[in-house]
Amino acid sequence: MPAPARQRCHAVLAGLVTLATAAVVSLAATPPAAAADTWTEIGSDRADPLTESQGLASVEVPANSPNRYTGIGTVPLGLSTRGWNHVGDPDASYDGHYIEPYQRDDGNSKMFRVRAPGGAWSEYVHALGPGEALNNSWDAVSPDGQWMLAGEWGTMTRLLVFPTPGVNASTSPSANLPQVSAVGLDHAVRDVQGCDFSGPTTLLCSSDDPDGSLFGITKPLLRIDLSAPPNGSADVSGHVTALRPLPLRSACPGGFEAEGIDYDRRTGILRVIVISPGFCVLTDSKTYKFSLG
C-alpha cells in the first residue's frame, strides 16, 4: 500500500479507536437509569414556609387526628433556647405516638421529641456514635411500631435504626436512646430529607440531591426495599431505586428544596413537600400528592 494510503488508513483506524474509547468511558460514567415511575401526581396544596417547610406526618390515633407539619415556626421557644433549633421530617406509629427529630448546631447528640396519644410530650436524647453525623433530618417508624429509622445528611450508604422512643419498652426519657443496628444501602444516597414506610420492608424517601450524578436525576423520589423488617439485633440491607424526579414548578427561577415525605396508610396517598426558590418560597411552595398509577 502506498505511503499516503497507509497514512490515511492509520488515521481512520486511530479515529475509530478514539471514538470507541470515548464511548466506553461515557458508558462507564453514565449514572444508573431510573426505574419506571409508578406514582401519578394527583394534586398539590400550598406549603406554608413557616409551619410546613420541613416535614409532615399523618397520625392515625386518636381517630380523625389532623395531619401534622413541621417548620421553622413550629419549634417551641423552650427548645430553641436550649439549642434544639432545627426540626426535621416527623413520623407517627400505628398507635399514635408522634415523633419529631431535632438537631443543634454543635455538640455530640441529637434528640427525638415524642407526643403520646394522650397529648403528653417527652424528649429522648441520643449520644452520637463514632463517625455519626450531627444532623437529624428525619425519622420513620416501622409498621410494627418497635423500631425507628433515621438518616444523616450528605452522601450516605446507611440508615440508622433505633428502638422507637416512647413505644419500645426498652426506651426511657432518662436514658440514652441507643442506635441498635443499621440498614446498609447497595447504592449511595445524598441529602435525604425524609422517609416513610409504605409496607413492612419498603421505604419511600425524598432526596434533595442537587447534583444528579448518583441516579441521573436531581431531587429524586427514592424507593428502598429492605431485605427484612428492621430489628434491634442485626443489620439489614436495602436496595435503592430512583423512581422519578420530584416536581420543581415555580414562578421564580433558582434552586428548589425537596423536604419531608409522608405515606398515609389510610388513603394510600403519598405527599412530598417542595420549597420554591427566592421570593416564591412565600407564594408557591407546594405539598405534592401522588397515588399509585
Considering the chain, what percentage of its residues have pLDDT values greater than 70? 87
Indicate the burial class of 225 (C-beta count within 10 angstroms; 0-12, 13-18, 19 or more).
Answer: middle
User: d(Cα 126, Cα 111) in Å, to the nearest integer?
Assistant: 6
Question: 25 pLDDT exceeds 70?
Answer: no
More confident position, 202 or 31: 202
pLDDT at 35 over 80: no
Q: Please give the share of the chain, as a percent, with pLDDT higher than 90.
A: 86
Distance (Å) of CA 13 to CA 1, 17, 18: 15, 6, 9
Do residues 70 and 56 touch, judged by C-beta distance below 8 A?
Answer: yes
Cα angle vertex 222, ends 93, 153, to 5°?
Answer: 75
pTM of the model: 0.87
Question: Is 75 a residue whose pLDDT tops 80?
Answer: yes
pLDDT at site 16: 35
Per-chain mean pLDDT for the chain: 90
For residues 152 and 178, give the distance between their C-alpha atoms in angstroms, rounded to a whole number: 15
Least confident of 4-8, 43-47, 128-132, 142-146: 4-8
Residue 31 included in any domain = no
Q: Is the pLDDT of residue 5 over 80?
A: no
> Which pLDDT does position 36 carry in this prediction?
53
Q: Read off the CATH number of the domain in which 146 is found.
A: 2.120.10
Tell me the pLDDT tens digit for each residue of 84-110: 999 999 999 999 999 999 999 999 999
Residue 272 pLDDT: 98
H helices within 116-257, ranges in order? none
pLDDT band at residue 293 using 50, 70 and 90 as cut-offs: confident
Q: How many domains does the chain have?
A: 1
pLDDT of 193 above 50: yes
pLDDT tens profile 135-182: 999 999 999 999 999 999 999 999 999 999 999 999 999 999 999 999
Q: What does DSSP assign to residue 74? A: G
C-alpha cell at 74: 413550629
Residue-level pLDDT at 3: 42
Q: How far apart are CA 177 and CA 173, in angstroms?
A: 8
Query: According to the model, what pLDDT value does residue 112 have?
Result: 99
In this predicted structure, the answer to whether residue 45 has a pLDDT above a threshold of 90 is yes
pLDDT of residue 11: 41
66 inside domain: yes
pLDDT above 90: residue 278: yes
Whether 238 maps to a domain, the answer reads yes
User: Model confidence at 34, in pLDDT bands (50, 70, 90)?
Assistant: very low
| Domain-embedded: residue 27 | no
Three cell numbers at 268?
394510600
The C-alpha atoms of residue 273 and residue 285 are separated, in whole angstroms, by 8
49, 275 in Cβ contact below 8 A?
yes
68 within domain boundaries: yes
Residue 278's contacts (CB-CB under 8 Å, 6 or more residues apart) are: 252, 253, 254
Cα-based distances in Å from 63 to 60, 95, 160, 165: 6, 10, 30, 22
- Any domain includes 2: no
Asked whether residue 64 is domain-assigned, the answer is yes
**Cis preceding-peptide flag for 229 (omega within 30 of 0):** no
Reported confidence tier of residue 28, pLDDT bands at 50, 70, 90: very low
Q: Does a structural domain hold residue 73?
A: yes
Q: Which residues contact 75 (CB under 8 A, 6 or more apart)?
A: 84, 85, 86, 87, 102
| pLDDT (mean) for 39-53 | 98
Look up the domain containing 156 and give its range: 36-292
